[in-house]
Amino acid sequence: MKLIKSIMSAFAIVLATTACAGNSGENKKSNEPTKKENKMEVIALNKADFLKKVYNYEANPNDWKFEGKRPAIVDFYATWCGPCKAL
């Protein structure tokens, strides 16, 4: 019985030391700057700008035809909606 306790305690000590010393240093942080971040800003569009830059639903009511040159994310919200404006 004493031998089993000694083996189990030795195993626990070895397990604890190997678990704590497992950091091999492969995940070192470098001081090099990462990719440059693009500074984008939100553009508020009125109806005329939306028809011209995103989608002219008056000219093409049945087909989606993107009018812009670059991809766009369109976020619709109501000006009277407090939680919508908070985002």
% of the chain with per-residue pLDDT over 90: 5
pLDDT of residue 48: 92
Is residue 27 predicted with pLDDT exceeding 80?
no
Q: What is the pTM of this model?
A: 0.44
% of the chain with per-residue pLDDT over 70: 82
Dihedral Cα 18, 19, 25, 29, nearest 10 deg: -170
User: Residue 57's CB: how many other CB atoms inside 10 A?
Assistant: 13
- List the chain domain ranges: 42-87
Is residue 22 predicted with pLDDT exceeding 70?
no
* Tens digits of residue pLDDT in 43-69: 888 899 989 988 899 998 899 888 888
Task: Round to whole Å and give the CA distance between 54 and 35.
Answer: 29
pLDDT of residue 26: 61
